[in-house]
Structure formats: C-alpha cells, structure tokens
Structure 1
Amino acid sequence: MFEAAHWVVQAVMILLAAASFVTWTVLLFKLVEIAIARRRLARTAATVETSATLDEAVRRLAGRKDPAAFMARASFEELQRSDAALDLAGTAGLKERVRSILERVEAQAGERLRRGIGLLATIGSVGPFVGLFGTVWGIMNAFIGISQSQTTNLAVVAPGIAEALLATGLGLVAAIPAVVIYNHFVRSIASWRLSLADAGAAIERMLSRDLDYRSAGRS
C-alpha cells in the first residue's frame, strides 16, 4: 500500500512514522531523567530535614549536583555574604534574597526538566492535520483516477482511498500517544516541582531558625 501511494502521501507517512519514533524516544529518555531527578531530590530532601543547621546540611550535601542541594549551597553563600550587615540591617533583606534565589532555582530546574516534551505537544497537535493532508491528497488522487478512467469501478477508486485512510491512521497513531505521554510528563514534572518547592521551604525554615539562634546568642 505504501509503495503504491503517491510520493506526497509517502512523504506524509514517513514524516508521521518519524514523529512516532520521536515520541517513543522522548518517552524513554524522560522516564529515566525524571526517575533520576526524583531519587536525587528525595535523598537531598531527607538530608535537609535531618540536619540541625544550614551549615551542617551544606556539608552533608557536598558533591551533590541536584537543584535542592544547589538551593542549600546558594542560601548558605548568601548568608555568608550578608553576615557583616545582618546586625545593622536585620534579617528581612536576607530572607527576601534567599527566597528569590530559591524561586529562580526552582523555575530553572523545572524548565530544564521540561526540555523535550514540547515536541510531544507539537506532534500531538499537528499530527492529525498532517495525516488529514495525506488523506485529502489520496482522495484527490482517487478522483483523478475516476476522471481519467471514466469509470467508478472499485478497482480504480480503491488505491487512492486506501492510501488516504492509511495516512489518517498514521496521523492518529502518531498524535494520540504523544498527547497521552505529554500529559503524563506534565503531571510528573508538576509533582516533582512541588517536592522541590517543599525542599526549598525546608531550607528557608532552617535559615530562619539559624538566624533566630544567632540573634538569641547575641542578646
């Protein structure tokens, strides 16, 4: 059926097959990537929760490169840079700067994890229309065959209709999994970002506690 199709319909079929291949490739890579990100985040969050101070958490997280570990190190570095001004300026500015750092790290980490799934959204939205283009072209060829042969015999109409239906089917085969997989990854990444935000909140609480002990020790 593919070999008998018009070259335009063949190009559409090849394009849809390639899109389907991309969909399943993205699925495999993102499943692994998200699983690794979840495991690293869980380990770092557990370390933060069991640490008494931010300094201790940073020391225990040395060498880790996940976003939550970077949040802890960036917060501690900001604390050190602001140390000389805390007694005069207070802690409100430091807390605001740390919150800004945590928000930006979370946003950037989420954006990195989303890389690649935009292809799924494109395939899911464009795939049916590409298949429809092949369908229209195949039906047009069927009508051309009818006009040239001056007959509506099924043997004349069938090849064009068959290639049209095949293009439609390939469009759906490419689009439906892409939409389902895209929605799954959107939910998974949203859940991961929520866990990362929880880790950031734990770091903020630890920093606030450290500042309170610092104030109490100097009073």
Structure 2
Amino acid sequence: MPEGVTATSLAPLAHDLSLWSLFLQADWVVKSVMVMLLLASVWVWAVVFEKAMAMRRLNKAADAFEDRFWSGGSLDELFEREGDHPTHPIAAVFGAAMREWRRGAAKAAGADVAMSGVQSRAERAMVVTISREMERLERWMVFLATVGSAAPFVGLFGTVWGIMNSFSAIAGMQSTNLAVVAPGIAEALFATAIGLVAAIPATIFYNKISTDLSRYAARLEAFASEFSAILSRQAEDRGA
C-alpha cells in the first residue's frame, strides 16, 4: 500500500456505496450514461401510462359507439352526431365510409354498377382510415422497442468504462485492496443496473401494448367488414 494510505483512510470509500454516492463518484462518461438511461426510463413510464389510459378510453368509446350503431337507429343520424366529427378511431372509420357512401349515392341515381363502385370506394376509405388511425396510436412504440433492446448495451458500455477506470486506479495505487477497487466496480455495475431498469419495463410493456393495439386493429377491421356488408345490402336494394 502506498505511503500515507491506510486502511482507516480507505474505510469510508469501502462503505460509502449508496446510490447517490455512486453517481457522484462516477466518471463523467459513466455519469452521462446513467443520466441518459434514467431519462429514458422516465420517458418509458410516461409512454406506458399514456398508452394504457388511451387504450382504456378508446375501448370504452368503441363499446358505446357499437351499442349505438347496432341499436337499429338511423345511420344518417349517427353520422351527423358522431361520424362527421369523430373523436375516436372507430367513429372515424364509420365517418369516412359514410361520407364516401353519401357522396357517391347522391350521384349514382340508382345505377347498380355505380353503387357497386361507391361501395368499393367506401371500403377503401375505411382501410385508409384504419391505417392512419393505427399509425397514430402506434406512436412511440418504436421508442419502447429501442429502449428495450439498446438500454442494456448502453449500460454495459458504462460498466466497461467504469471497470477500466478501476483498473487504472489499481495501477496508480499499486494495490488490489478491495477498498480501492470496490467503488469503481460498484459505479460500473450501477450503470448496468440502470440500463436494466430502463430496458425491462420497456420490453414488457412493449409486448403488452403491441398486443392491445393488435386487438384494437382487429376490432376496427371487424367493424369495417360488418359495415361493408351493410353497405353491400343497401347497394343491392338500390339496384333492385
């Protein structure tokens, strides 16, 4: 042990391993990695809560809309009340189809071929609307996937850098005493821990939210198919 360095003087280093102390004692590169990962973790939870609340709200709105849709009331009245200014995706799908249908029906003058074309345009309008609405709902999903896959490696980079600093300290002090190397190693491992704290929730909730979004997309597609069948019957009635 170098002259002037005693076990007593190293004792505080050996015991001062609180999370805040590890952060303060870390190299600036390791600190940067930690801050970046902590910010990513906070953003992950913000995205998760936003998506969870949004999906709950959308499913509740879809339930209420489908109840009104299948209640036997006038589709034109439902369009005037909700479809013309939709506040949720399933109403937007309905509104897009109804606008195309009403516009085309006004010009068709009862021609069977023309009404078939109107139905086809209404179906395409629903497909485009579903795609647009799902693209909007899937915003920030790439961020969750990126954090889930990259955060452990970013934390590992901080760990490697911290261990390199620990070896430098060992070489400088010419000592392998645990009190000398423990803080640096602890700082390095702390970076990996923060990386996992960011990555694990991101991965879990990415899979959960992706499943919820897939189910909601299937719900929109099922509604579009059912509404298309209704429009098909109306086209046949007009052409009869």
Which TM-score applies when normalising by structure 1? 0.90
Map 1:49-68 to 2 at 5 A.
49-51=70-72, 54-59=75-80, 61=82, 64-68=86-90
In structure 2, give the amino acid aligned to 1:68: I
Distance 1:213 1:88, change over 3 A: closer
Give the Å deviation of 1:119: 1.5
The partner residue of 2:145 within 100, 121, 127 is: 121
Map 1:93-132 to 2 at 5 A.
93-132=117-156
State the alpha-carbon separation in 1 of the partners of residues 89 and 189 from structure 2: 48
Matched, 1:9 2:30: yes
Of 26-35 and 65-74, more deviation after overlay is shown by 65-74
- C-alpha offsets along residues 93-150 of structure 1, whole Å, 9 cap, x if unaligned? 2222111111111111111111122221111111001100110011100110111112
State the alpha-carbon separation in 1 of the partners of residues 25 and 138 from structure 2: 40
Of 57-66 and 20-29, more deviation after overlay is shown by 57-66
Matched, 1:162 2:186: yes
Q: In structure 2, what is the equivalent of residue 77 of structure 1?
A: 99
Q: In structure 1, what is the equivalent of residue 8 of structure 2?
A: none
In structure 2, give the amino acid aligned to 1:173: V
Distance 1:51 1:72, change over 3 A: farther
- Give the aligned length: 216
Of 194-203 and 180-189, more deviation after overlay is shown by 194-203
State the alpha-carbon separation in 1 of the partners of residues 77 and 233 from structure 2: 13
Give the Å deviation of 1:22: 0.8
State the alpha-carbon separation in 1 of the partners of residues 92 and 197 from structure 2: 41
RMSD: 1.8
SS at match of 2:23: coil
State the alpha-carbon separation in 2 of the partners of residues 2 and 213 from structure 1: 73
Kept in 2, the 8 Å contact 1:48–1:203? The answer is: no
- C-alpha offsets along residues 151-205 of structure 1, whole Å, 9 cap, x if unaligned? 2121221121111111111111110111001111100111111111122122212
State the alpha-carbon separation in 2 of the partners of residues 89 and 183 from structure 1: 45
Structure whose alpha-carbon radius of gyration is higher: 2
The partner residue of 1:32 within 45, 53, 56 is: 53
Give the Å deviation of 1:56: 4.6
Of 125-134 and 193-202, more deviation after overlay is shown by 193-202
Kept in 2, the 8 Å contact 1:127–1:174? The answer is: yes
Of 33-42 and 127-136, more deviation after overlay is shown by 33-42
Kept in 2, the 8 Å contact 1:124–1:175? The answer is: yes
Fraction of identical pairs, as percent = 38
Q: In structure 2, what is the equivalent of residue 172 of structure 1?
A: 196
State the alpha-carbon separation in 1 of the partners of residues 228 and 75 from structure 2: 9
Give the Å deviation of 1:34: 1.1
Gaps spanning 5+ residues in structure 1: where? none
The partner residue of 2:207 within 183, 189, 192 is: 183
Which TM-score applies when normalising by structure 2? 0.83
Matched, 1:140 2:164: yes
Q: In structure 2, what is the equivalent of residue 19 of structure 1?
A: 40
State the alpha-carbon separation in 1 of the partners of residues 154 and 92 from structure 2: 44
SS at match of 2:24: coil
Of 201-210 and 55-64, more deviation after overlay is shown by 55-64
